């Protein structure tokens, strides 16, 4: 009879306590054995929130749309056929990646990075706060939904064998997406997740063991699974940034085989109202951090990406015309990335609504042709194996799937 | 008003040993009256602790002169680049301005006798949030808190609003200094002014209103923004055409356009409701009782947005004094840290170690990037990572392992850790 590690942890408090005092390599060996087979092929979702409303038509440039460059005299990205290193990187003859996202191009070429364009939330709010809240609640326009969409997925597909690390956010506090009755861990760094009391540590843990039981169960498990200093794969070049740090922590959690199923991280700085720049500048710097960090994560996880789908999101896009200060004001639709082994990439999905004046949303923004919930639904059903998403996305009727994710 | 512990938990950063008895002796009403009128409370001992933070008393111009950006440091002339000179100059980067700004906030919260003034300064800074790390705001944020937020913390909302609207820190943070009738408007300030500062997101404005308000504020700018100058109205880039804001015609022209918008917004019932809701959420409950919000909102409208009167209405209400709200609101990391040092009868110089601990708990001070500020609902602050950081702080504090901070409690370190780390102490 094979006993899974997760069952073991849930049911064997005493056994776990004895684990905690055993040499860590023994613990890891024991965990690896009990977990053989199943844990290794568990599907994982990594969700990334670009907070501040990222400019979709700078991330993935619709250079083939003849209106694009004239709407943005100072901040348009040069089309691939002109200019030097500063030009967009051609994807399919119509769309191009921002040059700062160059490290994602190989993943696109390998067929593991898909892009959905003109995607977003159908609600017309241009409030960061509300739009993030709607997206994370998975319920645009509905302020009465109190838990997040990822938490509702965890609820809808209960796992009695789950470890405390089934869902992890790489932040000090739990993001709205993971808020709710299902348990989830929030932490900034793997190495900081514990008591740093020196010799007093066991005594402090004892003091609070009952008061914060879930927390200390998680601390013990993490300590045993990540006992050694993490060394990323030599092919992974993580930039020196908080977001890259988050990506590296996720890679470490995946590799430590600690029962991770859903990971969440965010990256800010997308609210480019002024001087956003074009192929260089403020936005380019943010994109460099984003692209290089995601690419490092991808390289670091290597073959394990076969079980992983990564999805990015942002609360809305930005107005298609540049404003008076070389930036862009709040808009409507944007774009998002879906990457990983199960992704049918190398393609820009979604219908392009066009940038002609009469095609713009409320005369100023990129119109929406794909509801973000359609993308997330496909991932939740096809990749994570949920039966349906009616509970995850209330009052939502799915459109025909984009068929961008293969069943795992 | 009977529960003095509750009163101190909400109007102050918790009680120090002995506070309870002192307030009971003079009476809760008299204590409250004093707190609502800070100049009546002697606070020279706190002033003395702040002497060691010279940046608090510098203008933005002086700050920029003394604490230059790293790039400018590198551009110094060859002969000034001796190792000693460079060491000295590197010690004078803007990061030191932030350290002193964070330190004074912690020192004041822990030591000031004018506790309500500190609570409200924290409240309004968060309401009118600016992000320290955004370029020029590294030099502009200190004067913003000292001269814009602090003096108006218990005054009239309209005056506070106007002071923020004309502050270089806000004009820079929300890009209004770049909004121009010639080059084109920038909607950032116009939108957040209505959504976050006054009406609230459901307060009844449209995208068209956002654009019209942005037009009204064209020309509200900064005198040499990269040189940290003061407020300047630039008539040349102001849009003098007629605007319609929330149904009102705005046509006075010049700087009066923006001022008229501020008057309309300050008088609007949605503003009264939004500000009252936020205040009641801070002082009473994450889910503000509707009746109390209505009452405080009426006080706002009747008194022309008198913050002191609104607070008085909150503190004397049945809802504030009902047993079920006391001890029910989760402390922010900053509130937790300040109240822990106070509860342990501690002293602090606000060292970096404390600011960093607050940051790891999820609230890096003055470094909240989004304009909405930090969460005003208490329940959003707790996660297992945050709990661990709070416990770590309690351990370091109780064992006197924080440089510049000393606890004088007669409890054993173990008893103190147990108390400060308990779930009850995470609430107020």
- B388:A330 CB<8 A: no
Asked if A52 lies within 8 A of B422 by C-beta distance, the reply is no
Measured CA distances, A331 to A131, A348, A382, B43, B207 (Å)? 11, 21, 31, 49, 11
Q: Choose among A135, A171, A166, A177: nearest CA to A267.
A: A171
Q: What is the mean pLDDT of chain A?
A: 90
CA distance B187 to chain A (A): 6
Task: Give the confidence band of B91 by pLDDT, cuts at 50, 70, 90.
Answer: low
**Rounded-to-10 torsion of CA A237, A242, A248, A251:** -130
State residue A14's pLDDT score. Answer: 34
Is the predicted pLDDT of residue B43 greater than 50, yes or no? yes
List phi, psi (to 5°) of A308: -120, 135
C-beta of residue A97 within 8 angstroms of C-beta of residue A61: yes
The answer to whether residue B378 neighbours chain A at the CB level (below 8 Å) is no
Interface of A with B in 340-369 (CB under 8 A): 362
Q: Indicate the helix (H) or strand (E) that contains B232.
A: strand B231-233
Q: Does A215 touch chain B (CB under 8 A)?
A: yes
Chain B contact probe: residue of A198, A323, A364 with most B CBs at under 10 A = A323
- Confidence class for position B227, pLDDT limits 50, 70, 90: low
Radius of gyration from C-alpha coordinates of chain B: 22
Quick check: B253 contacting A, CB < 8 Å? no
* A172/chain B closest Cα distance in angstroms: 5
Residue of B nearest to A187 (CA): B385
Q: Are B125 and B145 in contact (CB under 8 A)?
A: yes
Q: How many Å from the N-terminal Cα to the C-terminal Cα in chain B?
A: 17
pLDDT confidence band for B78 (50 / 70 / 90) = very low
Disruptive mutation site among A146, A208, A324, A363 for chain B (greatest number of B CBs within 10 Å) = A324
Among A residues 154-213, those touching chain B with beta carbons less than 8 Å apart? 164, 169, 171-174, 179, 185-188, 192-197, 200, 203-204, 207-208, 211-212
Prediction pTM value: 0.91
Which 8-state DSSP code applies to residue A306? G
pLDDT in tens, A116-153: 999 999 999 999 999 999 999 999 999 999 999 999 99
Angle (nearest 5°) at CA B352 between B349 and B356: 130
Taking the Cβ of residue B372 and every Cβ of chain A, the question of whether any pair is shorter than 8 Å is answered with yes
Inter-chain residue contact A194 with B360, CB threshold 8 Å: no
> Does A327 sit within 8 Å of B385, measured CB to CB?
no
Measured between CA atoms, the residue of chain B closest to residue A131 is: B201
Q: What residues of A are in contact with residue B195 (Cβ under 8 Å)?
A: 127, 129
Q: What ipTM does the predicted assembly reach?
A: 0.88
Q: How far is A93 from chain B (nearest CA, A)?
A: 33
Cα B231 to Cα B214: distance, rounded to the nearest angstrom: 17
Average pLDDT for chain B:
93
Residues from chain B contacting residue A129 (CB–CB below 8 Å): 195-196, 201, 370, 372
User: What is the distance between the alpha carbons of residues B102 and B104, in angstroms, rounded to a whole number?
Assistant: 6
Q: Average pLDDT for residues B219-241, to the nearest whole number?
A: 89
Q: A240: phi > 0 → left, psi -120 to 50 → alpha, else beta; which?
A: beta
- A215 has pLDDT over 80: yes
CA distance A260 to A6: 11
Q: Is the CB of B185 less than 8 angstroms away from the CB of A274?
A: no
Residue B417 and residue A171: Cβ atoms within 8 Å?
A: no
Nearest Cβ partner for A186 among B201, B386, B399:
B386
In this structure, how many other beta carbons lie within 10 angstroms of the beta carbon of residue A54? 28
Q: Residue A320 and residue A361: Cα distance in Å, rounded?
A: 10
Does residue B83 surpass a pLDDT of 60?
Answer: no
Indicate yes or no: CB of A269 within 8 angstroms of CB of B372. no
pLDDT band of B97, cuts 50, 70, 90: very high
In this complex, the residue of A185, A208, A218 whose CB is nearest that of residue B421 is A208
Q: Which of the residues B359, B385, B390 would you substitute to probe the A interface, choosing the one with the greatest number of A C-beta atoms within 10 Å?
A: B385
Q: Helix, strand or coil for residue A114?
A: strand
Q: Which residue has the higher pLDDT, A21 or A298?
A: A298
Whether the CB of B411 is below 8 Å from some CB of chain A: the reply is: no
Contact present, B338 and B111 (Cβ < 8 Å) = no
* Chain-chain contact of A274 with B188 (C-beta, under 8 angstroms): yes
**What is the pLDDT confidence band of residue A82, given thresholds at 50, 70 and 90?**
confident
CB contact under 8 A, B195 and A327: no
Tell me whether B195 touches chain A (CB under 8 Å).
yes
Answer whether A343's CB lies under 8 Å from A309's CB: yes
Question: For A297-355, what is each residue's pLDDT tens digit?
Answer: 999 999 999 999 999 999 999 999 999 999 999 999 999 999 999 999 999 999 999 99
Whether A327 and B186 lie within 8 Å, measured CB to CB: yes
Nearest CA in chain A to B423: A211
Q: Do A186 and B191 touch (CB under 8 A)?
A: no
CB interface of B with A, residues 338-367, below 8 Å = 360-363
Name the pLDDT band for B65 (thresholds 50, 70, 90): confident
Distances (CA, A) of B250 to A160, A277, B114: 63, 34, 41
CA of B369, closest CA in chain A: separation in Å? 8
């Amino acid at each position: 009879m094979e006993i899974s590690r997760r069952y073991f942890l849930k049911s064997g408090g005493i056994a776990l306590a004895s684990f905690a005092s055993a040499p860590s390599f023994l613990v890891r060996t024991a965990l690896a054995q009990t977990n053989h087979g199943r844990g290794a092929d568990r599907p994982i979702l990594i969700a990334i929130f670009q907070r501040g409303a990222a400019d979709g038509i700078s991330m993935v440039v619709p250079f083939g749309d003849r209106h694009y460059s004239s709407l943005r005299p100072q901040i348009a990205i040069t089309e691939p056929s002109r200019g030097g290193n500063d030009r967009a990187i051609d994807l399919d003859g119509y769309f191009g990646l921002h040059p700062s996202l160059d490290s994602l191009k190989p993943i696109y070429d390998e067929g593991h990075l898909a892009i959905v364009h003109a995607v977003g939330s159908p609600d017309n709010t241009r409030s960061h706060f509300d739009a993030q809240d709607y997206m994370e609640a998975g319920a645009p326009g509905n302020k009465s939904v109190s838990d997040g969409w990822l938490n509702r997925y965890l609820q809808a597909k209960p796992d009695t064998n789950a470890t405390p690390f089934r869902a992890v956010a790489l932040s000090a506090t739990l993001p709205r997406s993971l808020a709710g009755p299902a348990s989830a861990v929030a932490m900034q760094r793997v190495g900081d997740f514990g008591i740093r009391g020196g010799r007093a540590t066991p005594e402090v843990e004892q003091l609070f063991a009952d008061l914060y039981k879930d927390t200390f169960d998680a601390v013990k498990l993490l300590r045993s699974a990540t006992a050694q200093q993490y060394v990323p794969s030599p092919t992974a070049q993580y930039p020196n940034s908080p977001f890259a740090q988050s990506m590296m922590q996720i890679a470490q959690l995946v590799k430590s085989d600690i029962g991770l199923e859903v990971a969440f991280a965010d990256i800010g700085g997308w609210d480019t109202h002024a001087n956003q720049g074009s192929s260089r500048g403020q936005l380019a710097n943010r994109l460099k951090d984003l692209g290089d960090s995601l690419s490092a994560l991808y390289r670091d996880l290597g073959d394990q990406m076969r079980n992983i789908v990564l999805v990015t999101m942002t609360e809305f896009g930005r107005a298609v015309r540049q404003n008076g200060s070389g930036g862009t004001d709040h808009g409507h639709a944007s774009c998002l990335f879906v990457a990983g082994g199960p992704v049918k990439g190398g393609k820009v999905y979604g219908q392009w609504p066009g940038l002609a004046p009469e095609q713009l949303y409320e005369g100023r923004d990129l119109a929406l042709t794909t509801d973000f919930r359609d993308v997330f639904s496909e991932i939740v059903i096809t990749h994570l194996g949920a039966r349906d998403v009616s509970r995850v996305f209330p009052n939502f009727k799915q459109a025909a799937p984009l068929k961008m994710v293969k069943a795992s | 008003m009977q529960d003095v512990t509750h009163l101190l938990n909400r109007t102050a950063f918790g009680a120090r040993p002995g506070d309870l008895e002192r307030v009971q002796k003079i009476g809760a009403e008299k204590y409250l009256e004093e707190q609502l009128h800070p100049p009546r409370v002697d606070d020279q001992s706190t002033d003395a602790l702040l002497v060691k933070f010279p940046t608090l008393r510098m203008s933005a111009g002086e700050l920029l002169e003394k604490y230059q950006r790293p790039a400018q440091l590198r551009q110094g002339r060859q002969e000034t680049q001796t190792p000693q000179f460079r060491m000295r100059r590197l010690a004078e980067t803007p990061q030191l301005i932030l350290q002193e700004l964070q330190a004074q906030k912690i020192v004041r919260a822990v030591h000031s006798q004018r506790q309500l003034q500190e609570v409200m300064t924290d409240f309004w800074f968060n309401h009118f949030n600016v992000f320290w790390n955004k370029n020029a705001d590294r030099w502009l944020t200190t004067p913003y808190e000292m001269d814009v937020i602090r003096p108006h913390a218990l005054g009239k909302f309209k005056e506070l609003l106007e002071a923020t609207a004309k502050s270089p820190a806000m004009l820079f943070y929300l890009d209004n200094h770049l909004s121009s009738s010639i080059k084109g408007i920038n909607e950032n300030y116009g939108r957040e002014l209505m959504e976050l500062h006054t009406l609230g997101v459901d307060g009844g404005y449209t995208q068209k209103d956002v654009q019209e308000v942005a037009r009204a504020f064209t020309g509200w700018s900064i005198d040499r923004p990269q040189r940290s100058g003061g407020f300047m109205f630039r008539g040349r880039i102001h849009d003098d055409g007629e605007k319609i804001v929330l149904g009102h015609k705005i046509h006075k022209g010049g700087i009066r356009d923006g001022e008229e918008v501020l008057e309309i917004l300050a008088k609007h019932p949605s503003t009264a409701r939004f500000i009252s809701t936020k205040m009641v959420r801070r002082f009473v409950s994450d889910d503000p009782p509707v009746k109390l919000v209505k009452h405080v909102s009426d006080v706002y409208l009747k008194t022309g947005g008198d913050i002191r009167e609104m607070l008085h209405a909150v503190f004397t209400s049945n809802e504030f004094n009902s047993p079920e709200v006391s001890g029910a609101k989760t402390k922010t990391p900053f509130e937790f840290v300040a109240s822990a040092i106070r509860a342990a009868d501690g002293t602090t110089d606000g060292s970096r170690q404390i600011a960093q601990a607050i940051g790891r708990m999820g609230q890096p001070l003055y470094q909240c990037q989004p304009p909405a500020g930090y969460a005003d609902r208490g329940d959003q602050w707790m996660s297992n990572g945050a709990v661990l950081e709070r416990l770590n702080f309690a351990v370091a504090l109780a064992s006197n392992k924080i440089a510049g901070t000393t606890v004088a409690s007669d409890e054993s370190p173990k008893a103190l850790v147990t108390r400060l780390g308990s779930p009850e102490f995470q609430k107020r």
